[in-house]
Chain A
Amino acid sequence: MDSERSDAPAPFLTLKILVAGGFGVGKTTFVGTVSEIRPLNTEELLTEAGRMDDSLDEVTDKRTTTVALDFGRITFGDDLALYLFGTPGQDRFLFLWDELATGALGAVVLADTRRLRDSFPAVDYFERRRLPFVVAVNCFNGVRDYSAGEVATALDLDEETPVVLCDARDRESGKEVLITLVELAGEAATAPATTEPV
């Protein structure tokens, strides 16, 4: 195999974390606070998005749209990097979630207590995929109206899903959210799997 060639450079490991949540909850702010944020455009066919197609005629007949993802990178030395991907909010881009979630270490679901129901789709999605996730309640302007426990109850979270209160604009706070998630993912990776992911 190529990867076993003696002249191959040292392996470069990449890990991926998703940042999901409702519109305007602070995903872009969160990614930009903890990482070097960069633009990433995916041009997607709006119709039959999943279809593989080679023909130019087919492509020009269909409407394409540019979906800009929030994409951030944190590098640790020369051989390890953590990538954060903000998931697009609209339902019509759900197919992009599947690609982003594949191989992900875990996810952060940003929540706003004024609009908790906006977090339901993301919570449902990660529970179904059995992807480790933490719910990070973005406390705008330091307003902490609800406790972590109250949010967990309102979202009907599994016992093992951590809820942390955070401020997406604060780097230390964002780091704590990510550390909580990586610790959770580490436990998930070492625990024996009881059910296959869907």
Chain B
Amino acid sequence: MTDSDQRWYDEAAGPLVRLYAVTTGRAHVGSEQRLDLMTVIHALPDAGHDPVLSPEQAAILHLCRPRPHPVADIASDSGLPLAVVRVLLSDLLAMGLIRATPPVPPARLPDARILRKVIDGLRAL
């Protein structure tokens, strides 16, 4: 392969697959499934069967396997736009491969010690 060939495939060239091909053309999912940026995604233990996943879906599962990640982190790590990530996540949800925990509203935080922990943590930065 020549140098000029390789240059076509670097990161700056952008994705080689059109973005919404990854989601088979879907830009949105139903509003009832819209995942908040701060919703935490947990990968569920392998159910035993081996579903056919796209590389992007497999990458999300791989990312969330060791520890849960919020949707915003997943979008950032994958480099895909948020809308695309939301579609991929709703597919994984439908397949029963992940669990989504919505964020706790500030007014319903379990106790005031959490904000104290944040303040102490910020001081220690």
Contact = CB atoms under 8 A, between A and B. Distances in A.
B38 A103 contact: yes
A148 B12 CA distance: 45
B43 to A, nearest CB: 10
Q: Which secondary structure characterizes the binding site on chain B?
A: mixed
Interface residues of A, number: 55
Interface string A11-48: 11111100000000000000000100011111111000
A42 B82 contact: yes
Contact of A14 (B25, B70, B75, B116): B70
A189 interface: yes
A74 to B, nearest CB: 7
B11 to A, nearest CB: 12
A83 B119 CA distance: 14
B84 interface: yes
Contacts of A54: 26, 28
B51 interface: no
A185 B38 CA distance: 18
Given A16-B37, A175-B122, 18 more contacts: A7-B45, A12-B70, A12-B101, A14-B70, A15-B118, A40-B76, A43-B82, A45-B27, A54-B28, A77-B121, A82-B122, A100-B37, A102-B36, A103-B38, A182-B118, A185-B115, A189-B106, A189-B107
17 contacts: A38-B73, A39-B76, A39-B79, A41-B79, A42-B75, A43-B82, A83-B37, A83-B70, A102-B36, A103-B38, A103-B103, A103-B106, A175-B122, A182-B115, A186-B112, A189-B106, A189-B109
